[in-house]
Amino acid sequence: MELRQLEYFAAVCREMHFSRAAEQLCTTQSNLSQQIKFLENELGLPLFDRIGKRIALTEAGSILLEQSRHIFERVDYAKRAISDLKRMEGGRLDIGILPGDGDLLFDALLIDFHRAYPKLSISVTETMEVYEQVLSGARDLGVTTVPSKPDERVAVIPLFHEEFALAIRSDHQLAKSNTMPFEQLRELKLVMFGPEHQMTKVIQSCCDAKGIAIDNPIVTSTLSTLLSLVEQGVGASILPRLLLDYMDHPHISAVKLLHPTPSQEICILYRTDKFMGQAAKLFMQELQAFVDRVKQHAERSLGS
């Protein structure tokens, strides 16, 4: 059994069509069929049921497909490990983050990281499917909320506890208070991210628990617009306390919400069975150190 034969087999499984698979592999259909026939002869069982022009996996084919995926993962691991040895300062890193987290964690961090390691290529993608993409292998690292039941192949590294606070214009009467009951939000005009945003989902969950509704909020997709609306007094918002303290905006105050205080746990995710190069290891270390610096900055701002 050869690796190329397994690659041919996997291509047929993806397409469920010999001619399309042959085109994808840049080979002839006759050669592809012959390689599949060699596999079937070696294993002693058919891998596909041929039903007219259609094909379907047999039980033997399903077993081989599942095991082939493990083989391809290990081959990819070996290739990446050897490549990483040849260029310890180079490499590529693909990171998935929740929408909006780039404003807190990544804008400043990426600049510093690039200056320290200019040969590393980094791609950061905002997505609501961080966990799913790390699990599928599409992303090397993910920064997201802690999954309730992570797959055993996914490592979960706690990063920080994120609390949400009311962001309101500094001359508003509520800005003079350090705290505010959560249910008082029903009295305010709010500006928020859309319903698909993780922050909005956290707030909505708290609203559902308290039996209250936010009346006709103004919705925006960007943090800069949201902050501008708060600064102009158009409405208040609910944002990560760490972000508000770190930004230390002169015209926006942060008020702690009580009963409940909305919060979530943020973590780093990666596949334990997927090769982790020096780029990923360095970035994880820098991200953890950066979060510590943000916390210290926020604490100093509160203390001054």
Mean pLDDT of the chain: 87
Q: Nearest to residue 119, comparing CAs of 167, 146, 84?
A: 84
Evaluate whether 3-86 and 162-263 have a shared fold.
Answer: no
Q: How confident is the model at residue 141 (pLDDT cuts 50, 70, 90)?
A: very high
Task: Give phi and psi for 254, each to the nearest 5.
Answer: -110, 130
List, for residues 84-136, the tens digit of each pLDDT value.
655 545 567 899 998 766 666 677 778 788 787 777 778 888 888 999 999 99
Q: What is the pLDDT of residues 206-248, one digit of tens each?
A: 999 999 888 778 998 888 899 999 999 999 999 998 888 878 8
- The SS3 call for residue 225 is helix
- Amino acid 50: pLDDT: 85
Share of the chain above pLDDT 70, in %: 93
Pick the range with the lowest mean pLDDT from 19-23, 81-85, 173-177: 81-85
Q: pLDDT tens digits, residue range 148-174?
A: 899 999 999 999 999 999 999 999 999
pLDDT, position 103:
65
pLDDT score, position 116? 78
Q: Kindly report the number of other CB atoms within 10 A of residue 172's CB atom.
A: 17
**Between the CA atoms of 173, 174, 176 and 178, what dihedral angle is there, to the nearest 10 degrees?**
170
User: Residue 302's pLDDT is what?
Assistant: 60
Question: What confidence score (pLDDT) does residue 57 get?
Answer: 92
Q: Encoding tokens for residue 134? A: 């790390």
Global model pTM greater than 0.75: no
Q: Is pLDDT at 303 greater than 70 in this prediction?
A: no
Please report the pLDDT score of residue 258 as a whole number.
95
Give CA–CA dist 170/232, Å, rounded: 10
Residue 242's pLDDT is 85
Q: What crossing angle do the helices spanning 59-86 and 3-15 adopt, rounded to 10°?
A: 120
Q: Which of 50-64, 189-203, 268-282 has the lowest mean pLDDT?
A: 268-282
Residue with tokens 């007219």: 52
Pick the CATH number of 162-263 from 3.30.365.10, 3.30.70.20, 3.40.50.1580, 3.40.190.290: 3.40.190.290
Q: How many helices (H) and strands (E) does the chain have?
A: 11, 12
Fold (CATH) for 92-160+265-303: D-Maltodextrin-Binding Protein; domain 2 (3.40.190)
Give domain 3-86's CATH architecture. Answer: Orthogonal Bundle (1.10)
- Could you tell me the residue ranges of all domains in the chain? 3-86, 92-160+265-303, 162-263
